[in-house]
């Protein structure tokens, strides 16, 4: 290198002396540089398929490795102010007895099937009897999917020595989150909150107001309460302003205790639209539950022992069973299930409990879930944990900010950092965009026989037409061709319009009502219609629109046009890649799901006429990952209770979540995801030209 520079310098010396020599050396160096660049580009182009394969491979393997114990970090508490588990708890059997008494009343209400107003009034009376500002809040949701109404009850304890500018919420929903809020009442959770209200208000050390909320229903009640608290109006929600209000809510805990006793304390933390609470809250709760509460902690309701059981050996070779029985493998499987649950909630933009609705208002909230069991823990443990956790939250001086907001918990005590998982989805997105760029280049050139004019160097004059022929010769060469970007963009726009129309249809009241009447018919019809749209291109009249008529008057270079499908595929890959990259930062689970679902099927699409059966798999692959295919898969797997009923429920729930809670999954699936798969299908059905 040095020698080359020296040579270059030496070469420059004659520059001043004589004119001809340096100009040649400069030309040489330029030529060399061009040559080098050409070689490099050639190398990259030649290696590109391997690079893309490598990126795919690394991306997917990385994703699989996320739950590995060795890749995770153990949790720690970042915020100095929290001081979790430092305070003595004074929650005692006396308070457990109070909780038992509350529970008896609540069970009586439940047993005689009391209306939501009765229940709320009971809670209000109990809270008012403790000297709290208590009130009820009736609400009604009128959405296309469902109509829900109920009555929330809440009470506010004003911190006697503080300004009341901040508040902590302790809530229990009437419905437990067991089976995602389907039917199990959270009686003991409600009793715990009431007993806590009785107990905590004896102390004057609160720096923040305590707000006790018993919300009706599951998600609906807390949505109505939070909206009313923050003065947000929602079109399909009818409720009044709250009678009493407090300060800014910083943190919230939701208590869910559906069983008779519990063995483990489970934590649910995923919020709507991929939001997560600050990890410090989770970590403090884990620390307190183990140290102060003395109860084992788990993520969700996944009790680790069930995954640590040695796998059955009778159907697999001994080496494999030995390998699966290895503690690392078992820990991996346990973590894998945790991550799967996480991706399930976050990928569908769902909240894993009522706490998830708090995150929208920048309130850090988690659900403490008492995993039902025959023992040994009960009100005594839960009360202690809640007291200690509230003391910790009381210590906060500013909102939780020190720890992570983006993380994947692989177990209650280990997590993967942002950098530890993000790259997997990004790598696949990069592979997709590389693939698209390659197609873009390929589309721009064609190998063709052309007539080349050999220009003579002899004269500068233009040769006469008669003299041209001897100078011309036919030869095979790369010829540039036009890329029909505009028609591809309009085609893609059309698919997005189709997606938007689908979205409007799905969320319309008409769809919801017919869905109730004859469940499957509508969905299947819609799916089939959507699946058939790409085949419209097989009809000659439509096909003609996309294939420009041969231009007789154009000269050879502009006459040629790249096939539509190539450009469409390239753009489809770009858009998918961009969507994956962007969502990966906000909602990793969704991005990872997209990368898994779209990554390969969209890259493998290519035109296949119906006659060529072996090539049809490419089309079917895209159909399989399309929303229609996934719904069919869900039907087959029996999601949501199985069969048509399950599918109806799935639809209802998704639509309800969009309309009432503002979950972005439905619009995203219809307006972004569906069109991307439609484009993939189109690539398969477009003419090869």
Partner 1 sequence: MALPKPVLRLLFILTAVLSYLAYDHFSSLMTPSPEAEAAAEAFFTQHYQSNTQGHTNNWAVLVCSSRYWFNYRHMANALGMYRTVKRLGIPDSNIILMLADDAACNTRNRFPGSVYSNKGKLLDLYGENIEVDYRGYEVTVENFIRLLTGRVSPTLPRSKRLLTDDRSNIFLYMTGHGGNEFLKFQDNEEISAFDLADAIEQMWQKKRYNEIFFMIDTCQANTMYSKLYSPNILATGSSKLGENSYSYENDPDLGVAVIDSYTHHVLSYLENVNKSSQLTMQDLFSTYNFHQIRSHAGVRTDLFNRGLDKTLLTDFFGGVAQVEVVDEQVSSGEPSSAQASPKVEPEASRPPKQPRAIQNPQKARPKSTIPSSSDSNPLINQAKGWGALLALSGLFVWSMKRAEV
Which letter does DSSP use for residue 175 in this model? B
- Which of residues 80 and 465 has its CB atom nearest to partner 1 in the complex? 80
Which letter does DSSP use for residue 445 in this model? E
**Smallest gap from residue 157 Cβ to partner 1 (A):** 13
Separation between Cα atoms, residue 78 and residue 98, nearest integer Å? 36
Separation between Cα atoms, residue 383 and residue 104, nearest integer Å? 17
Separation between Cα atoms, residue 66 and residue 411, nearest integer Å? 12
Q: 209-215 and 237-239 as β-strands: parallel, antiparallel, unpaired?
A: unpaired
- Which of residues 349 and 381 has its CB atom nearest to partner 1 in the complex? 381
Separation between Cα atoms, residue 260 and residue 375, nearest integer Å? 8
Given CA atoms 294, 203, 361, 78 in this order, what sign does their dihedral have?
A: negative
Residue 297 phi, psi dihedral angles, 5° rounding: -115, 145
**Smallest gap from residue 211 Cβ to partner 1 (A):** 17
- Which of residues 359 and 391 has its CB atom nearest to partner 1 in the complex? 391
- Which of residues 158 and 350 has its CB atom nearest to partner 1 in the complex? 158
Separation between Cα atoms, residue 553 and residue 133, nearest integer Å? 85
Given a contact cutoff of 8 angstroms between Cβ atoms, the answer to whether 643 and 635 are in contact is yes
Separation between Cα atoms, residue 486 and residue 621, nearest integer Å? 27
- Which of residues 46 and 161 has its CB atom nearest to partner 1 in the complex? 161
- Which of residues 143 and 201 has its CB atom nearest to partner 1 in the complex? 201
Binding residues (CB under 8 A) for partner 1: these are 80-81, 83, 86-88, 159, 161-162, 203-207, 391, 394-395, 397
- Which of residues 166 and 216 has its CB atom nearest to partner 1 in the complex? 166
**Smallest gap from residue 89 Cβ to partner 1 (A):** 9
Given a contact cutoff of 8 angstroms between Cβ atoms, the answer to whether 249 and 180 are in contact is no
Helix-then-strand count for the chain, H and E: 26, 14
- Which of residues 85 and 484 has its CB atom nearest to partner 1 in the complex? 85
- Which of residues 391 and 618 has its CB atom nearest to partner 1 in the complex? 391
Could you write out the three-class secondary structure of 591-627?
A: HHHHHHHHHHHHHHCCCCCCCCHHHHHHHHHHHHHCH
**Smallest gap from residue 394 Cβ to partner 1 (A):** 6
Separation between Cα atoms, residue 120 and residue 95, nearest integer Å? 22
**Smallest gap from residue 400 Cβ to partner 1 (A):** 14
- Which of residues 85 and 181 has its CB atom nearest to partner 1 in the complex? 85
- Which of residues 350 and 384 has its CB atom nearest to partner 1 in the complex? 384
**Smallest gap from residue 404 Cβ to partner 1 (A):** 21
Q: Closest Cα to residue 610, out of 539, 508, 523? A: 539
**Smallest gap from residue 210 Cβ to partner 1 (A):** 13
**Smallest gap from residue 168 Cβ to partner 1 (A):** 13
Residues with Cβ within 8 Å of 101's Cβ and at least 6 positions away in sequence, in order, are none
Given CA atoms 172, 173, 174, 179 in this order, what sign does their dihedral have?
A: negative
Give the chain's radius of gyration (CA, Å). Answer: 33
**Smallest gap from residue 77 Cβ to partner 1 (A):** 12
DSSP output for 100-130:
HHHHHHHHHHHHTT--HHHHHHHHHHHHHHT
**Smallest gap from residue 390 Cβ to partner 1 (A):** 11
């Amino acid at each position: 290198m040095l020698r080359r520079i020296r040579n270059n310098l030496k070469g420059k010396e004659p520059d001043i002396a004589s004119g001809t020599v340096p100009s040649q050396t400069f030309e040489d160096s330029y030529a060399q540089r061009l040559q080098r660049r050409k070689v490099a580009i050639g190398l990259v182009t030649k290696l590109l398929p391997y690079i893309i394969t490598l990126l795919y491979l690394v991306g997917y393997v990385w994703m699989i490795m996320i739950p590995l114990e060795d890749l995770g970090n153990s949790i720690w508490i970042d915020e100095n102010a929290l001081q979790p588990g430092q305070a003595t708890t004074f929650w005692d059997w006396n308070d457990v007895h109070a909780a038992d008494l509350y529970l008896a009343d609540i069970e009586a209400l439940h047993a005689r099937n009391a209306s939501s107003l009765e229940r709320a009034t009971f809670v209000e009376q109990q809270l008012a009897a403790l000297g709290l500002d208590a009130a009820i809040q009736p609400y009604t949701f009128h959405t296309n999917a469902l109509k829900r109404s109920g009555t929330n009850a809440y009470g506010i304890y004003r911190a006697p020595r503080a300004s009341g500018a901040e508040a902590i919420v302790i809530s229990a929903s009437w419905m437990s989150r067991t089976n995602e809020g389907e039917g199990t009442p959270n009686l003991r959770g409600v009793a715990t909150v009431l007993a806590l209200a009785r107990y905590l208000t004896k102390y004057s050390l609160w720096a923040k107001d305590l707000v006790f909320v018993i919300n009706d229903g599951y998600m609906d009640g807390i949505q109505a309460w939070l909206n009313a608290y923050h003065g947000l109006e929602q079109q399909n929600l009818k409720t009044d302003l709250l009678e009493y209000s407090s300060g800014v809510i910083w943190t919230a805990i939701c208590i869910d205790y559906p069983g008779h006793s519990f063995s483990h304390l489970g934590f649910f933390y995923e919020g709507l639209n991929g939001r997560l609470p600050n990890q410090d809250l989770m970590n403090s709760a884990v620390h307190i539950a183990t140290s102060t509460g003395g109860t084992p902690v788990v993520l969700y309701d996944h009790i680790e022992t069930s995954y640590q059981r040695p796998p059955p050996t009778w159907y697999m070779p001994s080496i494999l069973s030995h390998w699966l029985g290895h503690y690392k493998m078992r820990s991996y499987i346990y973590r894998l299930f945790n991550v799967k649950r996480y991706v399930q909630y976050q990928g569908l933009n769902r909240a894993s409990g009522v706490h998830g609705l708090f995150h929208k208002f920048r309130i850090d909230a988690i659900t403490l879930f008492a995993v039902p069991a025959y023992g040994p823990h009960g009100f005594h443990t839960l009360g202690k944990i809640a007291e200690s956790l509230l003391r910790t939250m009381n210590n906060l001086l500013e909102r939780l900010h020190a720890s992570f907001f983006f993380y994947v918990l692989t177990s209650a005590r280990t997590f993967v950092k942002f950098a530890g998982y993000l790259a997997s989805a990004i790598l696949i997105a990069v592979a997709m965009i590389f693939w698209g760029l390659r197609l873009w280049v390929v589309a721009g050139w064609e190998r063709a026989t052309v007539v080349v004019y050999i220009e003579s160097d002899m004269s500068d004059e233009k040769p006469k037409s008669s003299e041209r022929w001897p100078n011309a010769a036919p030869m095979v060469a790369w010829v540039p061709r036009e890329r029909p970007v505009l028609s591809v963009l309009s085609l893609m726009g059309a698919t997005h319009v189709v997606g938007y129309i689908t979205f409007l249809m799905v969320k319309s009241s008409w769809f919801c009502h017919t869905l109730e009447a004859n469940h499957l018919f509508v969905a299947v019809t819609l799916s089939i219609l959507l699946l058939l749209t790409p085949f419209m291109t097989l009809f000659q009249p439509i096909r003609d629109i996309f294939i420009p008529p041969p231009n007789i008057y154009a000269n050879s270079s502009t006459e040629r046009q790249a096939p539509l499908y190539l450009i469409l595929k390239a753009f489809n890959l770009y858009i998918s890649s961009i969507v994956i990259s962007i969502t990966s930062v906000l909602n990793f689970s969704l991005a990872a799901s997209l990368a898994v679902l779209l990554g390969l099927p969209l890259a493998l699409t290519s035109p296949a006429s119906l006659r060529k059966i072996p090539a049809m798999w490419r089309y079917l692959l895209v159909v399989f990952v399309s929303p229609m295919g996934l719904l069919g898969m869900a039907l087959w797997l029996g999601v949501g209770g199985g069969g048509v009923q399950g599918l109806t429920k799935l639809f209802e729930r998704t639509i309800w979540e969009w309309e009432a809670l503002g979950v972005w999954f439905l619009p995203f699936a219809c307006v972004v995801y569906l069109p991307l798969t439609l484009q993939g299908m189109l690539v398969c059905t477009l003419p090869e030209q």
